[in-house]
Structure 1
Amino acid sequence: MSEAEGDAENWTLPSDADAVREALVSWYEADHRSFPWRETTDPYAILVSEVMSQQTQLSRVEDAWHAFLDRWPTTADLAAADRADVVGFWSSHSLGYNNRAKYLHEAANQVEDEYGGEFPDTPDELSELMGVGPYTANAVASFAFNNGDAVVDTNVKRVLYRAFDVPDDDAAFEEAASELMPEGESRVWNNAVMELGGVACGKAPDCDAAECPWREWCSAYASGDFSAPDVPEQSTFEGSRRQKRGRVVGALREHGELALDELGPRVRVDYGGDTGAAWLKELLADLEDDGLVEVAERARESDGDEETVARLAR
């Protein structure tokens, strides 16, 4: 996986992108972490959660979010509040830089004074609010109005880099995220892909325990190399068993079912002898245990004798 900007165009999403989308959304809707801001479409409540969540642990945000909305339940309430009280609340709940509280108070005044108490519903308009940057604006547009673009944060970049070999290039990440997101479904999609990055594909991945829905397509899962833009690259990958695992999966994706003597040379140039059929069968057994490939015996067309073949798990 290259980080060179010149490699930004040398990647493609899986040909069965619809299956990729359906797998992620189904996984998310079946089970996901429960946060109160995911249970509302109130743009004010969502904006408060987004501002509070900036560099603050979500476990600490939840209590503060409830307390903040109990005290100032609407933009009108917040706009009418003394700014010193808002900053004092922020500080007492250890929510980070106090200027965020100031900006949130000013944004509430803007909503009341400039928008008649009604939130704008597009990322561009939301970006006009004080302290609301492109990411936060898009999040509010997505989760409140289902009217956002694809979210691209550190977690999403990590997922795309690992799963689909998207290079460490902002333009490539934006393109891949936009291409993947189903049109008109920014609310569920952005929640789902962020959940994937937070639960299954963190810096230390938890693919199987979290039942990652993209294991079937994921390059990192196939190779065992889970480096990413925010995770130090493993220097021992070249020539490693992880690399060979990835080559097996890549060859089977490209060619379908292969006999060992067809697969072996595609995995290593020195296939044969000590690195021949016995070695390859051991490697395939590991991949079969991980649910990535299937190994079977079939009659050889030339003489009817049995031979071992491998294919991707169905």
Structure 2
Amino acid sequence: MTEAGATPDEPEEDDAPALPDDPAAVEAVREALVDWYEADHRSFPWRETEDPYEILVSEVMSQQTQLDRVVEAWHDFLDEWPTVADLAAADRADVVGFWTSHSLGYNNRAKYLHEAAGQVVDGAVEGVEAGAFPRTPEGLQELMGVGPYTANAVASFAFNEGDAVVDTNVKRVLHRAFDTPDDDAAFERVAAALMPAGESRVWNNAIMELGGVACGKAPRCDEAGCPWREWCHAYATNDFTAPDVPTQPEFEGSRRQMRGRVVRTLQEADELALDRLGPKVRVDYTPDGEYGRAWLRDLLSDLADDGLVELEDREGDTVARLRR
């Protein structure tokens, strides 16, 4: 689709995606997707709210956890800390402990979410009053741990002021439907061209739903009633290849798993010296072995750098405790 205002001598891209050239067809593509989404979509509680705090919690939780599993954790978290002020006033160790007990992935995310809450309550973002969230992706990125994707999601779903979202599912959809090259700039360009102006809330929900329900790794075009079959390059050619999807590293035995064990153990034991902590983290811990004091000190140093653990040298030994 040629951009508005293009001049005849403007070079065309060799790998331009196969978007419809007719503006009426582009509008039909948009309407088909929104109608499909609004007729029937998966029900998640964060889709029923426009509270930026509740939406931020859901976005941070879902970064590494399946959405069906996030629902219970999300409800439990908001029962514990119903408002951003409640979270800001909470003990960080309690927030980290909640994250660990609900298997929500990297504990850093709990730490950053807690710090972001403090920034909101304190009015730390320039031009935004204390207790209020920034409304734009740029402003939301000023909050601790909030990257471009999360900022855009919160701006979209809370304030309807986001840009076109581009995540793994959306890339898969755009690659298959419009033969979009596997290139971040191309994906962003096509996503922006498709999204109706001022409709980021419904549009981003709809296109992510399409990727999650109809256009997954194994496509379900007819079964899910994909609304883009009429225009879809993959459906027409029966070529459903898509960009590679990054895989998560093995969790069992990983550094991430060991970090979680340290936090859980210290949450229960208050403080422990290395040789008492080590066997509770790894059954094969031996002070001078491969998984011994040096390995455990390195792990604890990482946690200390992240602000989760405090270390104290005491009578020739190192004692660890959760940071309060």
Deviations 1:210-238 (A, max 9, x none): 00000000010111110000269xxxxxx
* 1:66 is aligned to 2:84: no
Cα distance in 2 for residues equivalent to 1:7 and 1:165: 13
Residue 101 of structure 2 is aligned with which of 77, 87, 92? Answer: 92
Secondary structure of 2:134 counterpart: coil
The correspondence of residues 92-131 of structure 1 with structure 2, limited to 5 A, is 92-114=101-123, 115-131=129-145
Aligned CA-pair RMSD: 1.4
* 1:166 is aligned to 2:180: yes
* 1:201 is aligned to 2:215: yes
Deviations 1:34-60 (A, max 9, x none): 000000000000000000000211111
Deviations 1:130-160 (A, max 9, x none): 0000000000000000000000001000000
Cα distance in 2 for residues equivalent to 1:193 and 1:50: 16
Paired position in structure 1 for 2:192: 178
Cα distance in 2 for residues equivalent to 1:113 and 1:10: 47
Cα distance in 1 for residues equivalent to 2:131 and 2:16: 47
Q: Structure 1: which amino acid aligns with 2:223?
A: A
Q: Does the Cα contact within 8 Å between 1:135 and 1:151 map onto a contact in 2?
A: yes
The correspondence of residues 49-64 of structure 1 with structure 2, limited to 5 A, is 49-64=58-73
Aligned length: 227
Q: Does the Cα contact within 8 Å between 1:9 and 1:172 map onto a contact in 2?
A: no
Larger radius of gyration: 1
Paired position in structure 1 for 2:49: 40
Secondary structure of 2:111 counterpart: helix
Paired position in structure 1 for 2:148: 134
Cα distance in 1 for residues equivalent to 2:218 and 2:14: 25
Q: Structure 1: which amino acid aligns with 2:83?
A: T
Q: Structure 1: which amino acid aligns with 2:68?
A: S
Q: Which aligned segments of 4 or more residues in structure 1 are displaced greater than 4 angstroms?
A: 6-9
Task: Please report how far the alpha carbon of residue 9 of structure 1 lies from its aligned counterpart in structure 2 after TM superposition.
Answer: 4.3
Q: Does the Cα contact within 8 Å between 1:7 and 1:167 map onto a contact in 2?
A: no
Residue 36 of structure 2 is aligned with which of 27, 45, 63? Answer: 27
Q: Tell me, which stretches of 5 or more residues in structure 2 are unaligned?
A: 1-11, 124-128, 247-324
Cα distance in 1 for residues equivalent to 2:89 and 2:99: 17
Task: Please report how far the alpha carbon of residue 11 of structure 1 lies from its aligned counterpart in structure 2 after TM superposition.
Answer: 2.2
Q: Does the Cα contact within 8 Å between 2:121 and 2:130 map onto a contact in 1?
A: yes
* 1:226 is aligned to 2:232: no
Cα distance in 1 for residues equivalent to 2:235 and 2:215: 10
Paired position in structure 2 for 1:267: none
Q: Structure 1: which amino acid aligns with 2:204?
A: N
Q: Does the Cα contact within 8 Å between 1:56 and 1:96 map onto a contact in 2?
A: yes
Cα distance in 1 for residues equivalent to 2:146 and 2:140: 7
Residue 19 of structure 2 is aligned with which of 13, 19, 37? Answer: 13
Paired position in structure 1 for 2:159: 145
What's the TM-score, normalizing by structure 2? Answer: 0.69
Taking every aligned residue pair, what percent have the same amino acid on both sides?
79
Task: Please report how far the alpha carbon of residue 67 of structure 1 lies from its aligned counterpart in structure 2 after TM superposition.
Answer: 0.3
Q: Structure 2: which amino acid aligns with 1:116?
A: A
Q: Structure 1: which amino acid aligns with 2:76?
A: A
